């Protein structure tokens, strides 16, 4: 019953322009959610979620892994994209067709054609995980957008401006929601508030966020 209620609510939520070049597409990934999760299982078997160190020596509260030609990593030496998973020394798992297809359709829906992401960062949030305000600027391609798909527990996404001190909009991202930001918004600060303990019917006590990035 709760599921049906959520679903009806999702259907009622409107596509929302967040800022110039940034749009929220509520429920855009709902139809593929099961397929996305099925495709995720072998990825996390091959490249398990891990808690990365920041260059400053802190351990992130969000666990991460990647698929695609390149994966985002962080350690004492800094942030970067690399072709090999540092944990296994092997290439990252391939990006599943269902991932790529969804990312390209969402980008196109937001007005970004020919999106060709080489990297897909998969974040696993547990109750208490958060992501501090930051800009995504490790990608060489500055024209391509970021496509972000949220699954599982809902979370409050903060979307600010080009300066850290700019005020932030708060968006509740639910299971199946997609956010795309590029153009004038490509380097906007963003983050995720501490995730509350609200169990999700499909994913339990976790939120999974998948971001697609075109590096070159």
Total site size for Fe ion, rule CB under 5 A = 1
State how far the Cα of 1 lies from the Cα of 31, in Å rounded to an integer: 18
Min dist CB 1 to ligand SIN, Å, is 28
CB-nearer residue toward ligand SIN: 66 or 211? 211
With beta carbons less than 8 A apart as the criterion, state whether 29 and 104 touch.
Answer: no
**Is there binding between residue 124 and ligand SIN (CB under 6 A)?**
no
Q: Which residues pair with 200 in a beta bridge?
A: 204
Q: Which of residues 130-149 bind Fe ion (CB under 5 A)?
A: 136
CB-nearer residue toward ligand SIN: 90 or 184? 184
State how far the Cα of 153 lies from the Cα of 150, in Å rounded to an integer: 9
Task: Name the token pair of 147.
Answer: 């496509």
- Residues in contact with 204: Cβ distance below 8 Å, sequence separation at least 6, in sequence order: 152
Helix or strand or coil: residue 37? helix
Q: What is the largest CA-CA distance in the chain?
A: 49
**Is there binding between residue 35 and Fe ion (CB under 5 A)?**
no
Min dist CB 124 to ligand SIN, Å, is 10
**Is there binding between residue 190 and ligand SIN (CB under 6 A)?**
yes
With beta carbons less than 8 A apart as the criterion, state whether 166 and 116 touch.
Answer: no
Which of the listed partners (ligand SIN, Fe ion, none) does 209 bind, with a CB threshold of 5 to 8 Å by partner kind?
Answer: ligand SIN
**Is there binding between residue 131 and ligand SIN (CB under 6 A)?**
yes
Residue 10 has φ and ψ, to the nearest 5°, of -60, -45
CB-nearer residue toward ligand SIN: 64 or 100? 64
Q: Which of residues 133-152 bind ligand SIN (CB under 6 A)?
A: 148, 150
**Is there binding between residue 211 and ligand SIN (CB under 6 A)?**
yes
With beta carbons less than 8 A apart as the criterion, state whether 171 and 159 touch.
Answer: yes
Residues forming the site for ligand SIN (CB under 6 A): 123, 131, 148, 150, 157, 190, 192, 209, 211
């Amino acid at each position: 019953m709760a599921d049906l209620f959520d679903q009806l609510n999702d259907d009622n939520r409107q596509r929302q322009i967040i800022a110039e070049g940034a749009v929220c597409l509520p429920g855009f990934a709902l139809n593929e959610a099961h397929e996305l999760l099925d495709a995720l299982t072998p990825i996390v078997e091959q490249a398990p979620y891990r808690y990365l160190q920041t260059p400053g020596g802190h351990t992130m509260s969000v666990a991460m892994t990647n698929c695609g030609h390149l994966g985002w990593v962080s350690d004492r030496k800094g942030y970067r994209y690399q072709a090999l998973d540092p944990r296994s020394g092997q290439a990252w798992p391939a990006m599943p067709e269902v991932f790529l297809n969804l990312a390209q359709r969402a980008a196109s829906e937001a007005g970004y054609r020919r999106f060709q992401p080489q990297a897909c960062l998969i974040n696993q949030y547990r109750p208490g995980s958060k992501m501090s305000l930051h800009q995504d600027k490790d990608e060489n391609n500055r024209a391509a957008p970021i496509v972000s798909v949220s699954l599982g527990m809902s979370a409050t996404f903060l979307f600010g401006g080009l300066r850290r001190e700019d005020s932030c909009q708060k968006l509740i991202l639910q299971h199946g929601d997609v956010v795309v930001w590029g153009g004038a918004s490509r380097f906007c600060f963003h983050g995720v508030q501490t995730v509350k303990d609200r169990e999700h019917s499909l994913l339990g006590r976790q939120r999974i966020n998948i971001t697609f990035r075109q590096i070159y």
